[in-house]
Chains A and B, each alone.
Chain A
Amino acid sequence: MSPRAARLWISSPPLVYLLVFFAIPALIMVLASFRYAGELGGLAPLVGSGDPDELAGLTLENYQRFFGDSIYLELFLKSFLYASTTTVLCLVLAYPLALTIARSHAKWRDLLVLLVILPFWSNFLIRVYAWMIILGPQSAFTRVFNGALGLAGIEPVALLFSPVAVVIGLVYVHLPFMVLPLYANLEKHDPSLLDAAQDLGAGAWQRFWRVTFPLSLPGVYAGAALVFIPALGIFAIPDILGGTDGLLVGNVIKQQFLDARDWPFGSVLSIVLTVLAVLFAGMAAWVARGQRL
């Protein structure tokens, strides 16, 4: 089989599938962002029926509304803040874990990786509810935590229904997406590099910072992208664990589609979110490529 035929045979099935079940529906929604909201919700017709009062056809008004209102800028900034915090925390928590697994005996690695994913085969909602129990005002954890704060002379804090709870929830849900790519990368590291560094007199921290970490950057970037991007659009966790100021972009998008039934505007928010997310992913990929050894 000629290379060209091979290329066709191998790349076509996924290409066609994604074109049909992803690209086309997505384009429908891009088109929707340029339409008016239907009088009774949803989308207004593309071709008007000649009624002068009826809204139909294409318009830029949804985009104008978005860019003309500073509240949405604030909303995006807030979501970026939450997503970045989540990503950094995930990195801090996932790194030692991935390192431990990568350096453990080969016979245990499979199991350890499996153990990381296992919790995620129970249901998402029920795990978030478990956090409600852990962070509730009457739980053992909260009481111990506030007791400790009390010793330091700080007022007790409400853990549940607060930004803290939302961040904890976000970190918890995205952790494996940081652990797996990091582990995949760390596992390929050549131990002899570290031995060489040690022979040259490098201490443990230096070995990590000058050898391991730089080598792991592609994994770090992959993990960061897989956490940051979904975290930008999530809504269930702020809904359940968040307090009165827990509104993020994902919640507003959900609101537009369900409560306000303003699909065009919901599409605009989604498209802006996607563009930003893709830009970020592109940046991460570009930096990773530059770092690849």
Chain B
Amino acid sequence: MKMLLAATTILLASLPAAAQKQEVLHLYNWNNYMSEETVKRFEDLCKCKVKQSYYGSNDELLAKLQAGAKGYDVLVPTMGAVESLIKRNALMPLDKAKLPNLKNVMPGYLNTAFDPGNTYSAPYAMSITMIGYNDKKIAELGLPTDTWALIFDPKLLEKLKGKVTVLDDQRELFAAAARYLGYSVNDMDEEKLKQARDLIRKAKPYWAAFNAQSYIKELTVGNIWVAHGYSNDLFQANLDAVAAKRPFGIKHALPKEGAVLALDAMVIPKGAPKPELAHQFINFMLDGRNSADLTNLIGSGNPNDDAQKHIKPEIKANKAVFPDAETAKQLEMLKDLNAKQLRTLSRLWTEVKLK
């Protein structure tokens, strides 16, 4: 007992002196969604410190905020979650006078139905959910790569048994099924959802796992040949494969039936401790050069017009990151669901996973 007390005292006494007279900006963001360099640049500019906390999904963010967590200055939710936060009256309206760089954003990404007039949100980056694959193996098997059939069609899956993972996310997987079956990702008609469930059930025996976290690693190592995943992660997987000198590359392909586009935007929660600093940060991130940093780092899509000239040419040429206008028409953003719809979907999801 005495030892524990002594240990505690020693620990407390030797803690690094926490005297910080600087202002601190609290950023709550996705993992790996902000370049270290950009953060440093901002810290030098504002003579402040940026403290980052991370979440892995919109639902995590919403759940924590719902339960009352506070103290964050800037959040980066996807547009569907932004809509939800606006409905809950959880966001502070942006002071456009403090955000001159907002004009840099491409008009196609402004003024969406989720946040008319961008009263609350400033678009930051985007990703598309698509299929990533081991180019060598898939070429050997002679399989098509531009269709969701690669993960849903049992005839194709036979050759891929145990080598496919899909996202462990009910919205994403049902959305992929929806596009494959030919209807909107936001169509929550129960009959259509049941069709999707049956489609998923038929394909499930061929899949290795529902995996939202380590599929990058599994693809790069070669345990998995096809993964349903996010474009940034798949971009990273390829970088890793090259770095590890693999005999194959990880390519990603946008299915022709359409896919989910996730546009993430910066918002300021009500009650943020440092709204001034938050506005400064958002304006900073809307500047072309700063915005391009993330794209160059993780291959994320970029809604910022001014950033285009700072982006590496090989990334700009990548159709999966910057799809052409035709394909872009096939992309949809996920709307947030109400309680009843969530309940229906959740029940179907449990069914899918249990049986």
- A residues touching B (Cβ–Cβ < 8 Å)? 36-42, 69, 71, 74-75, 78, 129, 132, 136-138, 158, 160-161, 239-240, 242-247, 251-252, 255-262, 265
Asked if A261 and B63 sit within 8 Å, CB to CB, the answer is yes
Partner of A261, one of B62, B162, B169: B62
Give bound CA distance, A161 to B87, whole Å: 39
Asked if B350 and A261 sit within 8 Å, CB to CB, the answer is no
Tell me, yes or no, whether B276 is within 8 Å of chain A by CB.
Answer: no
CB distance from B64 to the nearest CB of A (A): 9
Asked if B343 and A71 sit within 8 Å, CB to CB, the answer is no
Q: Which residue of A lies closest to B171 (CB)?
A: A259
Determine the chain B residues whose CB is within 8 A of the CB of A261 once the complex forms.
59, 62-63, 66, 339, 342
Determine the chain A residues whose CB is within 8 A of the CB of B66 once the complex forms.
38, 41-42, 261
| Interface locus among B205-213, B282-290, B311-319 | B205-213
A256 and B346 contact, Cβ closer than 8 Å, known pairs A239-B168, A244-B353: yes
Which 9 residue pairs are nearest across A and B when measured between Cβ atoms?
Answer: A260-B346, A247-B353, A161-B209, A42-B66, A258-B59, A161-B208, A37-B339, A259-B59, A260-B342
Which of A158, A246, A251, A261: most chain B CB closer than 10 A? A261
Give bound CA distance, A117 to B210, whole Å: 32
A245 and B339 contact, Cβ closer than 8 Å, known pairs A132-B214, A258-B60: no
Give bound CA distance, A41 to B339, whole Å: 6
A78 and B354 contact, Cβ closer than 8 Å, known pairs A255-B346, A258-B57: yes
Partner of A245, one of B62, B213, B353: B353
**Sample of 22 A–B contacts (CB below 8 Å):** A40-B84, A40-B88, A40-B338, A40-B339, A41-B62, A41-B63, A78-B354, A136-B221, A158-B208, A160-B223, A240-B213, A243-B209, A244-B209, A244-B353, A245-B355, A255-B170, A255-B346, A258-B60, A259-B346, A260-B346, A261-B63, A265-B343
CB distance from B92 to the nearest CB of A (A): 18
Asked if A158 and B162 sit within 8 Å, CB to CB, the answer is yes
Determine the chain B residues whose CB is within 8 A of the CB of A260 once the complex forms.
342-343, 345-346
Asked if A252 and B350 sit within 8 Å, CB to CB, the answer is yes
Q: Which residue of A lies closest to B84 (CB)?
A: A40
Partner of B349, one of A69, A129, A243, A255: A255
Asked if B351 and A71 sit within 8 Å, CB to CB, the answer is yes
Which of B170, B336, B342, B345: most chain A CB closer than 10 A? B342
Tell me, yes or no, whether B15 is within 8 Å of chain A by CB.
Answer: no
Interface string of B207-230 (1 = CB under 8 A from A): 111100110000001110000000
Asked if B354 and A71 sit within 8 Å, CB to CB, the answer is yes
Asked if B221 and A138 sit within 8 Å, CB to CB, the answer is yes
Determine the chain B residues whose CB is within 8 A of the CB of A242 once the complex forms.
209
Give bound CA distance, A42 to B88, whole Å: 11
Determine the chain A residues whose CB is within 8 A of the CB of B45 once the complex forms.
none
CB distance from A81 to the nearest CB of B (A): 13
Tell me, yes or no, whether B204 is within 8 Å of chain A by CB.
Answer: yes
Determine the chain B residues whose CB is within 8 A of the CB of A136 once the complex forms.
221, 223
Interface string of B56-90 (1 = CB under 8 A from A): 01011011001100000000000000001001100
CB distance from B289 to the nearest CB of A (A): 36
CB distance from B55 to the nearest CB of A (A): 10
Give bound CA distance, A245 to B347, whole Å: 15
Q: Which residue of B lies closest to A251 (CB)?
A: B353
In residues 291-307 of chain B, which contact A (Cβ within 8 Å)?
Answer: none
Determine the chain A residues whose CB is within 8 A of the CB of B168 once the complex forms.
239
Give bound CA distance, A38 to B88, whole Å: 11
Give bound CA distance, A132 to B211, whole Å: 13
Q: Which residue of A lies closest to B56 (CB)?
A: A258
Determine the chain B residues whose CB is within 8 A of the CB of A41 once the complex forms.
62-63, 66, 84, 339, 342
Asked if A138 and B346 sit within 8 Å, CB to CB, the answer is no
Q: Which residue of A lies closest to B345 (CB)?
A: A260
Determine the chain A residues whose CB is within 8 A of the CB of B347 once the complex forms.
69, 71
CB distance from A240 to the nearest CB of B (A): 7
Determine the chain A residues whose CB is within 8 A of the CB of B214 once the complex forms.
129, 132, 240
Give bound CA distance, A161 to B204, whole Å: 13
Give bound CA distance, A160 to B170, whole Å: 23
Determine the chain A residues whose CB is within 8 A of the CB of B339 once the complex forms.
36-41, 261-262
Determine the chain A residues whose CB is within 8 A of the CB of B336 once the complex forms.
40
Determine the chain A residues whose CB is within 8 A of the CB of B342 once the complex forms.
41, 260-262
Determine the chain A residues whose CB is within 8 A of the CB of B209 once the complex forms.
161, 242-244, 246
Give bound CA distance, A244 to B214, whole Å: 15
CB distance from A254 to the nearest CB of B (A): 10
Determine the chain B residues whose CB is within 8 A of the CB of A256 once the complex forms.
346
Determine the chain B residues whose CB is within 8 A of the CB of A243 once the complex forms.
208-209
Give bound CA distance, A168 to B252, whole Å: 34
Give bound CA distance, A39 to B214, whole Å: 33
Determine the chain A residues whose CB is within 8 A of the CB of B207 once the complex forms.
244
A sample of 18 more A-B contacts (CB under 8 A), given A255-B170, A258-B60, A261-B63, is A36-B339, A39-B339, A71-B347, A74-B354, A129-B214, A136-B221, A137-B223, A138-B221, A160-B208, A240-B213, A244-B207, A245-B353, A256-B346, A259-B169, A259-B170, A259-B349, A260-B342, A261-B62
CB distance from A239 to the nearest CB of B (A): 7
Which of A38, A40, A75, A251: most chain B CB closer than 10 A? A40
Asked if B354 and A75 sit within 8 Å, CB to CB, the answer is yes
Q: Which residue of B lies closest to A255 (CB)?
A: B346
Q: Which residue of B lies closest to A160 (CB)?
A: B223
